[in-house]
Structure 1
């Protein structure tokens, strides 16, 4: 209801903002169609020339040394280290224990923009209600709409990765969702990029919480492009990733690779597999899959992209078919042609024999303009149709078609023939079919097929001829944001009363309610839509805050904020307008931003390279502000206002540049800082507050300094030092001491934070120590609290880190903040108000928190370290055995409480799903059976008892709450401590036969109903095995407890019985009676097999022996 109210209240603001943005775009492009074409071509030219360098910078600033590839394991290791770190608890002015997280009040405030959405790759419908939508934002996480796209709410801000490339909803269990992370199509040709993934995430509560599937936490699932389910068993699912096609038979708990195309040297043939489609009308899993590589002409191709020697470049893409994928059927290549690139497929919903496929080209292809060179590299290769479920294919359309519009499925429609729009400029055939490529068959008409490239197209004759269904340059309802990624029909689509079609793209989600409306064809449709009836579109991205910011600026009082975004220009927001009414103030790829602290009507914004602009009216209009600024810069050029004099600005290329007249003119302020190579271009600049002569400039080669910056000119050489190898990402002076400075590095493989106490002459590492040391993770920004300069904040690839002691120790800051790449941080300190921290993120917009108002309480996030025996020291004699396990790929906890009822042993056992710091375990009591060898499983009576809630404050402390429906128990609460913690694998001596991984729950399958909790504890030669045998004696529950030293593959121990006390809160330790029972020997014969033999000393029990099998394996500690 709140979301609906917010949407309704914001609707007028949304329209106003959208109209303003469109007006700004019209102003920028000019009025006539010819002028629009020329303007758009210029913008595209800039994008094309800069895209490679942007991709190069994204990868290069993270790559250590001369590495051409960065192993994904570096990022996984950093993420693992982050989970083990302390967390920031500002209310305490200190840190929480290792592994804790925050629930702070107030939480971070997301500021927007809610009316500017970033790239959205995928869209899915809840099978129970088609108005409930789930969308995946690239670098923005998973989003949910309950009103068919009218409003959206984020679901995965605290997930381990927000780069969503695929989504799937279990059709049998619709509250179970799978999210594939990583975006193969924007991966810069490198194994690491900002769009890298962390495998597959799973939610079993409709997206409220997410857990990583542990089987996918590896480099094979760095980019997950698609996920589909078997129509016969939804626990069997298939995933397309960068390493092939994978199958899980158990809901994601484990995966096996079915297809990994390789060459004769067993090297990968493709960058990855990109699409899956499965027929729903077959008894076996009839699965189609596509695998491909990008063209070397792609704007994100870099050296290192998969180009097998056998192919002399990227290998032609292929469609593979397996008609029995669920039972290890054989894969066949059913379609692969020379020049075939990324291929997308769709099976017709009603007639599954009909399958469509469309492919981009990795070859120049047809020479359309007659200049002797092909014009379709990354454009259309071909579109095919199959009428036998994908066994055979017929080409319907190729790039040499006489119909120019149909051949331009992956190109800008207005650029392939400018004369159709009144422009005599040469044609421009730029395309991006590796990046934007989508296809969908009309569910009711097998001859109607839609294709998405830059824009949207529809064919009604089986794919032979296409009409244009959306227009990028339009100022009316035929407009759809360019770069299409997914086309989906409403599940209720009937072709008449419901003609609803959804498209996802770089601007979010669009909807058409008349998908069968007439279209224009041929050259006449290249420039504008038909008058009157046409396919009409509306935005359906409201509130989906997935904007990717590079950098930002904040007004001195914190009431205004703006910054540059990827592909979507510069946006400005204000407190008074709210998140739905941000204004688009400058086009292109946005860049750095600055505001005059004395006059907030004076704004500076930029796009690519030296394209700096200035506004004197708060962003209503801008003029160029780069006269004389002539240099080679990074794609996003750093610049800033001197805090000592707002008319003075600095910008960086291969040298430093200064303006003393508010950017009206520029002149060199240093000689080249190392030469003209890419590594010498400026990446960071800082000016000391209170000392305008003191400056620092950073690049890949080092940190350059000056104590006489105002006198510096184009011949001045600045001395430099290099604390380490790598890119300097940010420089900052202490706001109260110009001798103290900080530097951060975005390059893996070294110290990421450095401090200087002599204005940059020398540097000391500041990555912290012990549990408070930073992970090896790229750091992009640093901010220093001006009211307490010991308080430091870092923006990284994994979100925010905080130090309260000047960098001696660091902690994770996650009190309601998204786990997202944080590119820029700004602090403002308004008089009489708390210091405010602003974070500009790459994928989740802009955030703010008032530092002085934090009030946090720590919540532990359950992990492996809770395994073992727990007790309350004041109630010795009873306790719990706790074991974290993985079920269906999600962390659960097995808990058994060994306690008493009316003085007799009593045990409860169950399993529950972990949720942050808490697990709720439904437990049962048991009775009825006898002690072995007279045990019969049929005699066991299981009695639902109630629920245990375990809330962990740390790996060593917790609170137990219980609530029982059985008479005589009721509810209560008890503080717990870890008594015996399971050892870590590192505690095993070399060559150990009985290892830490043997810890877990063991049983004899023929005697289900009793079993053993076994845990290895201690280290080296001092290791012991503790055992709790939960069993029965003459129909009553009994538990035996003991511990003994490990000797080779065995451990022998004395077991004991305890009796006497009552159930808490009536438990009295004075009532406890201990009695030796006998001895037991455990011998482990394999990873999952063991034997136990026992010799009782207490009358009434017989000796015996059992073969045991493992029932559970502890989280992350399998012996296999």
Structure 2
């Protein structure tokens, strides 16, 4: 957790300075100089919708998700996750030591998350199901209309990715869902990765016979594979016959899912099409990234035997294939094929093909590259149910043809998103807006011009076959947070970063507004000033706002070449110093440091990597006592890297690092945090399985202690250590939030009111409101009051509200002139105070205060007689809390 920044205003104390024309001055940049620096070095101030950054990071995002959880192995132990979920259900109540407060939703209810599948109740099209990438299964009874139109359906299984939904025409109480989001199988795509796949794990195919109240596992595989069910098709004439397109092949059940047989042993089946007139004819699309035996297969006996189709169908492509046929013209079939190989060194492109004979022969209708870089991930084709000439295709945007696909015209523009849309308001600035990256579409059986579309921005509807769109995301709380942060003054000052949905800031009442664009990554507040907030897009595209996120200044962009890039992770870390929030550290292969809020940057150790250029920094923790102390965690940029991740410690502002990994487990560290109560204590939080997940050092990394206790054996992502409560710890993991009141000896789940499981990736705390916020990767944000723990600020706190802002004043005595500095500070309660001046070598110059003092306002004068001009450091400490200020004597 990287939210809690010790600043004079919010944590320990405030030294309020007035710059004098003689004597002693604070060494800082004036506003005028700062403006020049921005113009000269940053060169760009942007409003939220103007950011010039890459528009997708799906490949990196999914790779990161699976790699963090599988490292250093090649498989994902889904069974372990399910066992831990069952253990919590059995013992959760007995873990509790007292009554817990209940989490409440923060939304967003106006921004839909990545949605992979959509299915209409065949008996009532107003009832629809949405399968989401990280938020599980959702249902609406209003066709998605309304400000609170959706409800999540719990399955009881430890899975959040739902890629397929199907309902029999004759029984709307029966629902099948396919789990897992998987786009790569074993050693495909030239062996670029040795991961089994890139994506999120699944638990097979689940079935409900009571409209989603209870679920059973109908089809599953060995528990250590990342498997997925991509599509489910039900025979329209025999609803007992169900087909499943899976990562392991095509499976058929003739008894409504009681038993299954693999009838096509080709991996990565991406789609199935059953001819509605002659159900013995079935087509199966296979392959992504040129997986084994990829191609189009046809069965003439209901899926028992298969023949590979090559007549007019491309034989070399890297993307996936999606199929469709109109209900009124089932013998006419369309295929959307991503990244078809081109000849003569030309780039690959998307093919839209058409067959007029049930898929036996094919003709190319268009090579318009509508799927472009999402060829492996997000595209489809949809034939109009009653007009044989009309067809929709989609990839990044939606395209339409009125002549059977021969000419495609783009009919949507994802760039027109409305960053300030409220719940139920138009999500775009024009009628042709729909979020980019399309996964599924279904026609309303009552009106073929009405189409429901699933994309990375949730669920949308078109009433005119693609001419205009309406968002249907009211209450669809499914966004995937990467980070969450809160300010300390304004209870609404909450922000975060989302996968493929920009960075967002809270407006209240479950509404959020987008900023910057692209993939939102890490958001951090200057906790001494809620107006100042930082946000990144992918690959450390860092922005700063001075007006609570209304407008942003780009302060770090490696595309400019200054500073030099040393390579970063997709989600690259940065942190504001708790001692001085003007100091920012950012992590690539090397460490970057700014002392002026990001206006300029230095590399303390040049471009030399902290470990290796193939092992960039993945997490940064900063000391609450010394601006020069930091700890970082590294991780491989790619799964093929053989180096092991490290934990490294620096006490010289990143000029050098010491490897303190010691006997820590070989897992990826997701969070590293200093203890705000002890400068030699810091924590490391690990993802993965099979080892401890939370470790602590109390001697700056010389030795480590596993404090995982009875925590579940699942990937962990974040930790929060409150001030003045060193034995109180909170962690977030793939099952939710856990708390320890005894320094990590024992833990209990703290999940009342959360969806379960809740994949908690980040947490923040507001000391003024006493509330914790969490960001989940698939179910949005939540908040809870921690009043029961009585977490308070330390003794020395801000005086801004109660003390006149004249901490540094100067008086002139009679000739000879003697200059004095008056220092004011406020104590919240009685405390032992030490105020000392040091030179740049760390030598003590003078101790001004060293005694017990009562609560209230205090003043001390420093007479600078005998002090040579130069830079000095003033340190004010009470107990274990300390603030340092650099001062310049002229």
State TM-score, norm by structure 2: 0.73
Aligned equivalent of 1:790 = 727
User: CA 1:614 to 1:279, structure 2 compared with 1: closer, same or farther past 3 Å?
Assistant: same
TM superposition shift of 1:373: 2.8
Displacement of 1:658: 2.6
For 1:135-150, what aligned pairs fall within 5 Å after superposition? 135-150=130-145
Deviation per CA, 1:785-837: give whole Å up to 9, x if none. Answer: 44644343322234334434332234444423234563533242534x5x433
How is 1:599-998 mapped onto 2 (pairs within 5 angstroms)? 599-626=529-556, 629-630=563-564, 631-670=566-605, 677-700=612-635, 701-706=645-650, 709=651, 711-712=652-653, 714=655, 716-722=656-662, 723-768=664-709, 772-775=710-713, 777-786=714-723, 788-819=725-756, 822=759, 824-831=761-768, 835-852=770-787
Aligned to 1:559: 492
Q: How far, CA to CA, are the matches of 2:610 and 2:620 in structure 1?
A: 18
For residues 588-612 of structure 1, the C-alpha deviation after alignment (integer angstroms, 9 at most, x for no partner) is 2211111111210000111122321
Which residue of the other structure, out of 87, 109, 114, is the alignment partner of 1:84?
Answer: 87
Whole-angstrom distance in 2 between the partners of 1:470 and 1:780: 37
- Correspondence for 1:346: 324
The 3-state SS of whatever aligns with 2:329 is: coil
Relative to structure 1, the CA distance from residue 209 to residue 381 in structure 2 (aligned partners, 3 Å threshold; closer, same or farther) is same
User: SS at 1:81's partner residue?
Assistant: helix
Q: Pick one of 501, 516, 524 that aligns with 2:451.
A: 501
Q: Do residues 460 (structure 1) and 428 (structure 2) align?
A: no
Deviation at 1:781, TM superposition (A): 1.1
SS of equivalent to 2:530: coil
CA distance in 2, matches of 1:25, 1:249: 62
1:548 aligned onto 2:486: no
Tell me the secondary structure at the aligned position of residue 529 of structure 2.
coil
8 Å contact kept, 2:680–2:698: yes
Q: How does 1:409-428 map to 2 (within 5 A)?
A: 409-411=370-372
Partner residue of 2:314 out of 337, 355, 358:
337
Shift of 1:617: 0.6
SS of 1:550 mapped into structure 2: strand
Match of 1:511 among 448, 453, 461: 461
Q: Residues of 2 paired with 1:105 and 1:492: CA distance?
A: 48
1:761 counterpart SS class:
coil
Deviation at residue 584 of structure 1 after TM alignment: 1.0
CA distance in structure 2 between the partners assigned to 1:106 and 1:171 by the alignment: 44
Aligned to 1:1038: none
Tell me how far apart the structure 2 counterparts of residues 432 and 113 of structure 1 sit (CA, whole Å): 26
Does the alignment pair 1:119 with 2:114? yes
Aligned to 2:270: 274
Cα pair 2:272 2:283 within 8 Å, conserved? yes
Deviation string, structure 1 residues 549-601 (Cα, Å, up to 9, x no partner): 11121122543211111222210014xx221x311122222111111112100
Distance 2:774 2:90 in 1: 18
Following superposition, the deviation at residue 784 of structure 1 comes to 2.7
The residue aligned with 1:484 is 438
1:1075-1094 Cα shifts (integer Å, max 9, x gaps): xxxxxxxxxxxxxxxxxxxx
Give the whole-Å Cα distance in 2 for the aligned partners of 1:109 and 1:646. Answer: 30
The reply to whether residue 227 of structure 1 matches residue 188 of structure 2 is: no
| Distance across 1 between alignment mates of 2:47 and 2:781 | 27
What are the Cα deviations for residues 66-88 of structure 1, in whole angstroms up to 9, with x where unaligned?
Answer: x5xx223x232233134224778
| CA 1:322–1:225: 2 relative to 1, 3 Å | farther
SS at 1:504's partner residue? Answer: strand
Cα deviation code 1:166-198 (max 9, x no counterpart): 011233321221111112237896335552212
- Partner in structure 2 of residue 161 of structure 1: 159
Which residue does 2:217 correspond to in 1? Answer: 212
Question: Which of 489, 511, 514 lines up with 1:584 in the alignment?
Answer: 514
Closer, same or farther: CA 830–842 of 1 in aligned 2, 3 Å: same
CA offsets 1:737-796 (integer angstroms, 9 cap, x no match)? 33332111224443322111223221112222xxx2531x32211223446443433222
**Residues 157 and 819 of structure 1 are in contact (CA less than 8 Å); yes or no, is this contact kept in structure 2?**
no
- Structure 1 vs Structure 2 CA RMSD: 3.1
Give the secondary structure class of the aligned counterpart of 2:446.
coil
Matched, 1:62 2:63: no
Q: Distance in 1 between matches of 2:463 and 2:754?
A: 36
Cα distance change of structure 1 residues 332 and 726 upon mapping to structure 2, 3 Å threshold: same
Does the CA-based 8 Å contact 1:670-1:717 persist in structure 2?
A: no
Preserved contact between residue 696 and residue 760 of structure 1 (Cα < 8 Å): no
Q: Distance in 2 between matches of 1:639 and 1:62?
A: 22
In the TM superposition, what are the counterparts of 1:249-398 in structure 2 within 5 Å?
249-261=254-266, 270=267, 272-282=268-278, 285-294=280-289, 306=291, 308=292, 315-325=293-303, 329-335=304-310, 336-340=313-317, 341-365=319-343, 373-375=345-347, 377=348, 379-387=349-357, 389-390=358-359, 392-398=360-366
User: Match for residue 203 of structure 1?
Assistant: 208
Judge conservation of contact 2:161–2:181 (CA < 8 Å) in 1. yes
* CA–CA separation in structure 1 for the residues paired with 2:216 and 2:45: 42
Higher normalized contact order (CA 8 Å, seq sep 6+, divided by chain length):
2
CA change 1:804–1:134 in 2 (3 A) is same
Q: Deviations over 1:680-722 (max 9, x none)?
A: 311122223345454322213322224xx3x4353x3434333
**Structure 2 SS opposite 1:79:** helix
Residue 891 (structure 1) aligns with: none
What's the secondary structure of 2:330's corresponding residue? coil
Q: Is the 8 A contact 2:533 2:544 kept in 1?
A: yes
- Structure 1 43/54 Cα, relative in aligned 2: closer, same or farther at 3 Å? same
Matching of residue 408 in structure 1 with residue 408 in structure 2: no
Query: The residue matched to 1:84 in structure 2 has which SS?
Result: helix
Q: Distance in 2 between the 1:26 and 1:696 partners?
A: 32
Are residues 554 and 209 of structure 1, via their aligned partners in 2, closer, same or farther at CA, if it must alter by over 3 Å? farther
Aligned to 1:537: 469
CA–CA distance in structure 2, aligned partners of residues 472 and 25 of structure 1: 23
User: How far, CA to CA, are the matches of 2:434 and 2:407 in structure 1?
Assistant: 21
Contact kept in structure 1, 2:78 and 2:224, CA below 8 Å: no
Give the C-alpha shift of residue 128 in structure 1: 2.4
Return 5+ residue gaps in structure 2 as ranges.
Answer: 1-43, 186-191, 417-428, 636-644, 790-890
Q: Distance in 1 between matches of 2:66 and 2:270?
A: 22
Q: Which residue of 524, 528, 536 maps to 1:594?
A: 524
1:1050 maps to none
Q: 2:456 & 2:695 partners in 1: Cα distance?
A: 37
Deviation at 1:671, TM superposition (A): 6.7
Contact conserved, 2:63 with 2:198, CA < 8 A, in 1? no
- 1:820–1:841: 8 Å Cα contact kept in structure 2? no
Helix, strand or coil at the partner of 2:78: helix
Tell me the CA shift for residue 675 of structure 1. Answer: 5.2
Judged with a 3 Å threshold, the aligned counterparts in structure 2 of structure 1 residues 755 and 489 are, in CA distance, closer, same or farther, namely: same
- Whether the 8 Å contact between 1:839 and 1:848 is mirrored in structure 2 is yes
SS at match of 1:234: coil
Are 1:434 and 2:445 counterparts? no
Between the aligned partners of 1:256 and 1:220, the Cα distance in structure 2 is: 19
| Number of equivalences | 705
Correspondence list, 1:85-100, <5 A: 85=88, 93-94=96-97
Change in CA separation of 1:248 and 1:220 when aligned onto 2, cut-off 3 Å: farther
